Amino acid sequence: MARTRSRYAPDRGLTTRMVSTMFFIGLLYVVLVGVLLAVLRGAWPVVLILAGGMFVAQFWFSDRIAAYGMGAREVTPREAPELHGAIDRICALADMPKPRVAVAQSDVPNAFATGRSEKTALVCATTGLLRRLEPEELEGVLAHEMSHVAHRDVAVMTIASFLGVLAGVVTRVALWGGFARNSRGNDPAGVIIMLIPLISAVVYALSFLLTRLLSRYRELSADRTAALLTGRPSALASALTKVSGQMARIPTEDLRKAEPYNAFYFVPAFASKESLGRLLSSHPTLEQRLDQLARISAGLSHP
């Protein structure tokens, strides 16, 4: 018997964006593999095996790799009673199965969720976040992360990121492996092979922009649905303000380690104000998020 949907408010805009992103990502993937097959005709079995193998590995193991890279360690209720208690309350409110619970030993105040589905989901908070937030603020942050699991956008982001990884690998192999050195004179095949790095770079750039556009919207959606579920948008706004303000006090070295995983985090970590990440951020601005929460708070106060 199928389980009923969670009590998180549905977001048609998010669903539309997820479907559109996956369609265009799939189209780009077909183009990239098609180009490789056309150029490397004699090696087409190798291309298909490698592309298929990377896709399967990315789908099945990317969430574990991301969790490992961010230092997540699963904890029991005895080890982290406050964290487990908050997630238990959110699961009861949302009518969702409990995800795996983890803690990352990091002073960077943040949280993230990974997983292909509710069955494989993992929600993690850093020790820096647990130390700084009040219980109601922590609950707001965790409700935000659980929204990603309920709406399955965390799975879409995980799969969508695969194409960028593949295109990046192809580009590096083409540049470092010496495709250009293997081409001779004005040989048309050699010219086409030399175009592989350029095509791969374009595919990478397009997939990067597609995932960034989805990522910004999904963060606003998670804020909105978490605030409606808990009925305390002010607690989430307080957590956002506190966490964003604390980022400036974190050592630059720690922020640089966290920066590659910004798309997963509750609040992005930037090593400097001039960081290129701010121009192509995976998250909306703090002002946008606070404005939305203020409107929700006003709506709840005056139904």
Alpha helices in 113-187, H assignment, sequence order? 127-132, 135-151, 153-176
Is 84 among the annotated ligand-binding positions? no
Which residue carries 């265009």 as its tokens? 24
Collect contacts of 13-21 with beta carbons under 8 A, ≥24 apart.
13/217, 13/221, 14/151, 14/153, 14/217, 14/218, 14/221, 15/151, 17/213, 17/214, 17/217, 17/218, 18/152, 18/153, 18/156, 18/214, 21/156, 21/160, 21/210, 21/211, 21/213, 21/214
145 classed as catalytic: yes
For 165, list phi and psi in degrees, rounded to 5: -65, -45
Q: How is residue 189 annotated by DSSP?
A: H
Instruction: Name the residue among 192, 190, 170 with its Cα closest to residue 181.
Output: 190
How many helices (H) does the chain have, and how many strands (E)? 10, 4
Sign of CA dihedral 158, 99, 16, 264: negative
Phi/psi zone of residue 95: left (φ > 0), alpha (ψ -120 to 50 degrees), beta? Answer: left
302 is in an annotated binding site: no
Annotated catalytic residue within 145, 253, 259, 274: 145
* Binding-site annotation: residue ranges: 144, 148, 219
* Binding-site annotation: residue ranges for Zn(2+): 144, 148, 219
Q: Known catalytic residues? A: 145
